[in-house]
Structure formats: structure tokens, C-alpha cells
Amino acid sequence: MTRAGFVAVAGRSNAGKSTLVNRIVGGKVAIVSDKPQTTRREIRGIATRPDWQLVLVDLPGVQRPRDVLTERMQARVERVLAEADAVLLLLNGEQAIGPGDRFTARAVRNAGLPAVIAVNKVDRLDRARTLAALTEAAELDLDADLFPISALDGGGVPELVEHLVSLLPEGPFLYPPEETSDLPERVRLAELVREQVLRRTREELPHAVEVEIDELEEPEDGLLIVRARVWAETESQKGILVGAGGRMVKAVGTAARREIERSTGRRVHLDLSVRVRKGWRRDEGLLDRLGIE
């Protein structure tokens, strides 16, 4: 009999949730950055072995909602917790436990699901600090097993995966075994562009940017033409994204094209344009179209 089910991955922004999902799945299904609130959509990463299928639901970092975008992100977290088979609470071992972690721990307790806590980034901690982080995690008062891990180098991850699998119900696979993510191709490609924007911007800009794929064409075998729009909220943000003499948009475009080529195995022509759309984070219609539900 096989096991299969959903594990919601919750935790503060920057804890390393997307890095861990990518590590377990063995490919890039979610983009990663050192900026807060990188993940905006629920992303399912699927790992399949002969006798189990683990579907990890990578969630946006929990925070206090401040606009329609973040309200939707928060509501999404609650919905996913309601439907999962188990919850993994990921903590950033480099930081003390804060109100965000306690908020998530409460949500996990209320959901009444089997819970697991992993303390991440132990590659950056010595033994004493790892122990202190684990002790602090135990004080969250969740009935959960504790795992010290490094999503970055993979340390401790096999033990964590083995435990998560033991919490899954018996049943048939939920996705075809070769699938690693449930995102539509357009969203996946838009995210690869946004990742390159995040790498090159600071402060308010990462939050103000969204990317939409306008057109996807395959005029000949092995060639993919991608037209993407980078949305900013103000003219001055647009100026930064375009850069002096178009240098920024060019650098983003070159790096994103390489990522898309790697991910699709095709030759890619990427056409990027930067546009202003005031208040897109409050625009319900646009958020629907972008798949942020």
C-alpha cells in the first residue's frame, strides 16, 4: 500500500520554506530570495518515490495583512492548514522565536493536525546555538517532533522527510509521479523573471513588483518566445527597474532567459517590458488574473 498526502509548510518569511521544498522535490519549484514575502502563491511541490508521494504546500510567510495582496496570502494560509494532513512549522534557527512564529504555532494548534517543527539554517549555527534554538522551539508548546536541518546543504533533511512520510495517510498517489509542481507554465516562468528582479532590488521595490507573461509562442521546434510584463507601482520604481540606459532591465532579462532555458530545455527569446500599474496590490481583478487567489 502506498502513502500520499499534503504537508503544509508554514513559518515566518525568510525561514527557508521554499528552499526546503525545492530541496525535497529535487528541483526549483518555488523561487527563493533574501527579501521578505518572496512567496505570494500557494505552491505545491511534489516528491514521489515508489511507495510514497509527499505533496508539500509551500506557503507565504505569515504576517499581519496590510492590503488585498497580503490579506489573500493570509487567508490562503488558513485554508491550506484546514485541508492538510500534517503541518511542518519551519523556524529560522538564526533568529529568536518571535510573535510571527507564535502566531503560526497557534494556527497550527487550532488546526488540530499532526505537527512537526524543523529548526532551519543550522549550517550557520554551532552546537550550542543549535541546542538553544531547539530548546526554544520546544517551548512553543506544540505536540511535535523536532528536527534540526539545513535546507541549503540538505543536512538533516532525509530524517525529516522520513518522519513526514510516516504521518501521511495510506492511499493512492494524488499526482502523476513525474510531476514536481502544480503551477501553470506561465506562472512558473513569470516567477523565474521575478526572482531575478528580487536579486537586484532593495527596500520597497521587491514588494512593488509583479510579473505577468503576456505571450508564449513556440514558432519552431526548440524555440520559445516569451513576452513578459514587469509591473511597478510608480514611475520612479519603473525608472529603477529600467535602469540607466536600460541596464537593469537588460541584466534581469539576460539572467531570467538563462533560467527559463535551464527550466524548459529550450532556446528562449525573452522580451521584457516594464509598466506602471498604480495600486496593483489592491486590484482584485489583476490578482485573480495573476493566480494569487
Binding site for Mg ion (CB under 5 A): 17-18, 38-39
Q: Tell me: does residue 38 bind ligand GTP (CB under 6 A).
A: yes
Q: How far is the CB of 131 from ligand GTP (least distance, A)?
A: 17
User: What is the 3-state secondary structure of 32-74?
Assistant: CCCCCCCCCCCEEEEEEECCEEEEEEECCCCCCCCCHHHHHHH
- How many residues in the shown chain lie near ligand GTP by CB under 6 A? 24
DSSP assignment letter at 37? S
CA dihedral of 96, 97, 99, 105, whole degrees rounded to 10: 170
- Compare residues 33 and 180 and give the one whose CB is closer to ligand GTP: 33
User: Is 39 among the residues that bind ligand GTP (CB under 6 A)?
Assistant: yes
Is 18 or 201 the residue whose CB approaches ligand GTP more closely? 18
Rounded least distance, CB 83 to ligand GTP, Å: 19
Closer residue to Mg ion, CB minimum distance, 8 or 248: 8
43 makes contact with ligand GTP (CB under 6 A): no
DSSP secondary structure of 129-149? HHHHHHHHHHTT--SEEEEE-
The rounded distance, in Å, linking the Cα atoms of 287 and 279 is 11
| Rounded (5°) CA angle 274-280-286 | 95
34 is a site residue for ligand GTP (CB under 6 A)? yes
Q: Output Rg (C-alpha) for the chain, integer angstroms.
A: 20
Residue 283 touches which of Mg ion, ligand GTP, none (Cβ within 5-8 Å per kind) = none
**Cβ nearer to Mg ion, comparing 38 with 120:** 38
CA 248 to CA 241: how far, in whole Å?
6
Smallest separation, CB 28 to ligand GTP (Å):
11
Query: Most distant CA pair in the chain: distance in Å?
Result: 61
Are the C-beta atoms of 214 and 228 separated by less than 8 Å?
Answer: yes
Binding ligand GTP (rule: CB under 6 A), the pick from 45, 60, 100, 206 is 60
Contact of residue 104 among Mg ion, ligand GTP, none (CB under 5-8 Å per partner type): none
Residue 19 or 53 having the CB closest to ligand GTP: 19
Any idea what DSSP says for residue 39?
A: -
Pick from 4, 8, 10, 15: which binds ligand GTP (CB under 6 A)?
Answer: 15
Residues 6 or more apart in contact with residue 160 via CB below 8 angstroms: 88, 116, 118, 147, 149
The residues that touch ligand GTP, with contacts defined as CB under 6 A, are 11, 13-19, 32-34, 36-39, 60-61, 120-121, 123-124, 150-152
